[in-house]
A and B are shown apart, each in its own frame.
Chain A
Amino acid sequence: MASAQVDLGFVDSVALSADFNAWACMNCGVCSASCPMGIDLLPRQLFRHVVLGLRAEVVQQADVIFQCLLCKACEQNCPAGVHIAENVRSLRGYLDREVFGLDRRYRVGASRPTKEGQHAAAHG
């Protein structure tokens, strides 16, 4: 298996809201256990891919990211206070913008309110 190249800049292009906090995930797996959809990838492994900038892995999971009900059963039970639903929304926004080319309003640099210093320029 070839090594995957880590890219710590990737997360900045996903996180458009100050509430995005994939870093807080400690990989315990309570989210996977409490998911009514039985989506075992989400969210812990997904967030790991986001944090490490494994873009190919994230894009490959686009279907799963849109299967989520945003019911927050996972968020209610998360011991690390991860904003799981908000994080998933951010990811959907990223896929819309950068993969499907759907909503230009949310491109990086557009006028959506952002927290100062939180966001970097678009990723490569």
Chain B
Amino acid sequence: MSSRRLGVYICYCGGNISDFVDCERVRAAVEGEEGVVIARTPMFACSDAAQQEMIDDIHQLGLDGMVVASCSPTLHQLTFRGVAERAGLNPYLYTQVNLREQCSWAHTDQPEAATRKAIQMVRAGIAKARWSEPLEKIRVQTVPGVLVVGAGIAGLRTAVALSDLGLAVTIVERSERAGGWVAGFGSMYPHDRSGAGLVAEALAEIGRRDNITLHTRAALVEKSGSVGDLVVVLDVAGERVSLNVGAIVVATGFDTYEPAEGEYGRGLAGVLTLPEYKGLLDGSEGPLVVDGHPVSSVAYIYCVGSRCESCEHGHTYCSRYCCAAAVHASLVTHERVPGVRQYHLYRDMRTYGKYESLYTRARQQGSVFLEFDPQEPPSVEAEGGTLRVTLRDLLTTGKELTFPADVVVLVTAMQPKRNEALNEVLKLPVGLDGFFKEVHPKLRPVETVIDGVFIAGAAQAPRSSAESVASALAAAAKSAALLKKGSVQLEPLVAVVDPAACTWCGLCAEVCPYGAIEKVLYDGKEVALVNEVICKGGGSCVPVCPYGAIQVRGSTDAQIRAMIEAMEIEHV
């Protein structure tokens, strides 16, 4: 393998590298190395012209390996593997050296030392490339079924969409009934459709399909296998059920922020959260009555638990759905209670997009909007059987205003649903805000870093029910796109055991965090075998083997040793 003919490309990165690393000196130092046929210093290795130059080199000089010393593999490893493939070369004969993040950016104050380090790094890359071997991706047959976690509006809609695409769906719901928050709502914005009705419709559609199974009082308790071929264990009302699926969609929804005692009068009779107030509106007819008192005035206080930069409780983010939801509740109230006085105490009104029309309607109907400074929040006090609200209104030249209200509605934040047990099983990354995190908000908005696990709805971020359903359909489309092809390809950079050298001491199996190693019989003796589909190529097993019988492809002992030796060569 040491007879490779290599092309080496040391990228300037338009100055990101060359401002601190003398790329020409690096080239001069390595161009005479064994195996190096050509060494170049492109301005941008990732440019179309530079990529074409590499392809031409491979063809004209008969190269069978390449090294690009540029940026992090996260950014361009796939780009240059693609170059190799287009030139007819096995993509695993390409080696990337991270000269930017690991050298030039890190040592901007020491260009001489950075250049010397760069020479060592490129030499190591060349050594690794000389010992690289062509590898083929691992192909896994996919299971045409999906597990949906959570039976709120997002989970139910995901299931219906996947069913329509011909995939079997199992839904697990932790609580006793399906439908989540939406099932408890009456009229919802923007179309005044009833939430309970929307859920009933979804459940009826599910009932008509024989490829959807819905379990309530159920939870996902174990997950193993790999993307496309997962084994999940469910706890269904105390009974363990094992299931084979290709992908998982997590749609576990949200909780509502509970204000602290005394926060905006919380604890006083008549001070309700928005969900409580919606429950009151939806659960009664005719004149509105709270605690036996007829309601003729309502004050809404916005951003309770949201957009808190420095408050003790609460969250820094905007909860997004609540401006429109509260304004809509005031429209419903206006219908119910003729002549009702309604006050909206807000920080910024965010009835974004089409929901602006709700805000306009509310003002037309006589709702009054008052703006407060978060440094001087409104106060709510009990006074003579009613509530008295006082604020300094920025829209009335900062004048202090006061008015009575029968009900004060605290427009509370959405917050992540707490579900430690599920987090333990899935190990999905969460953001600083506590919501599940996508790979990229624009490019991969419903995928997670765990292959085959997708997220949908308000488990990912605060959003309205309409937005939750949109993301649910996106998650359905992405998981179906994965499974409908029939197979997935996995990185071949996994551990392999040399059965001749292995004696099955079991140490490798003990340290593997994925449970990828099992004991098998080989030629009459017990040896370790790596399940390539489960193995992530982490390499914990390699150093514990007393016989050197286990290696990780793409980082073999021969490669690592050659890299270390290359770094020991004297500088030029």
Task: Enumerate chain A interface residues (CB-CB to B < 8 A).
Answer: 1-6, 8, 23-24, 27, 45, 48-49, 51-52, 54
Contact = CB atoms under 8 A, between A and B. Distances in A.
A5 B311 CA distance: 29
A8 B368 contact: yes
7 contacts: A4-B400, A4-B401, A6-B343, A6-B402, A23-B364, A45-B396, A54-B396
A51 B403 CA distance: 13
Given A3-B390, A52-B396, A52-B401, 7 more contacts: A1-B400, A4-B399, A6-B402, A8-B341, A24-B364, A27-B395, A45-B396
Given A8-B366, A23-B363, A3 B395 contact: no
Interface string B363-403: 11010100000000000000000000010010111011111
Contacts of A52: 368, 393, 396, 401
Going nearest first, the 9 A-B pairs with the smallest beta carbon separation are: A3-B402, A6-B403, A3-B400, A8-B341, A48-B396, A23-B363, A27-B395, A6-B401, A4-B401
A24 B402 contact: no
A4 B368 contact: no
Majority SS at the chain A contact face: mixed
**Overall SS of chain B's interface:** strand
Given A3-B390, A23-B363, A27-B395, A51 B368 contact: yes
Interface centre among A2, A6, A23, A48 (most CB of B within 10 A): A6
A47 to B, nearest CB: 10
B401 A3 contact: yes
B397 A45 contact: yes
A49 B396 contact: yes
Contacts, number: 41
Interface in B399-427: 399-403
Most buried by A among B364, B395, B400: B395
B283 to A, nearest CB: 27
B402 A4 contact: yes
B144 to A, nearest CB: 54
Nearest to A2: B400
A4 B370 CA distance: 14
B402 to A, nearest CB: 4
A3 B370 CA distance: 15
A2 B401 CA distance: 9
B403 A24 contact: no
Contacts of A51: 368
B330 to A, nearest CB: 13
Contacts of B390: 3
A27 B226 CA distance: 58
B402 A5 contact: yes
Interface string B161-192: 00000000000000000000000000000000
A49 B396 CA distance: 7
Interface in B485-543: none
Contacts of A8: 341, 366, 368, 403
Contacts of B401: 3-6, 52
Nearest to B297: A8
Contacts of B366: 8, 23
Contacts of A49: 396
A2 B341 CA distance: 23
Contacts of B363: 23-24
Nearest to B360: A24
A54 B400 CA distance: 11
Contacts of B399: 1, 4, 54
Contacts of A24: 363-364
A87 to B, nearest CB: 15
Contacts of A54: 396, 399
Contacts of B403: 5-6, 8
Interface string B130-161: 00000000000000000000000000000000
Contacts of A3: 390, 400-402
A6 B366 CA distance: 14
A48 B402 contact: no
A1 B396 CA distance: 14
Nearest to B391: A3
Nearest to A5: B402
A2 B402 CA distance: 10
A3 B401 CA distance: 5
Quick one: which of B364, B397, B399 has the most chain A CB within 10 A?
B399
A45 to B, nearest CB: 6
Contacts of A1: 399-400
Nearest to B397: A45
Contacts of A6: 343, 368, 401-403
Interface in B248-299: none
A27 B363 CA distance: 13
A52 B366 CA distance: 11
B396 to A, nearest CB: 5
Contacts of A45: 396-397
A2 B397 CA distance: 15
Contacts of A27: 395
B156 to A, nearest CB: 39
Contacts of A23: 363-364, 366
Contact of B395 (A4, A5, A48): A48
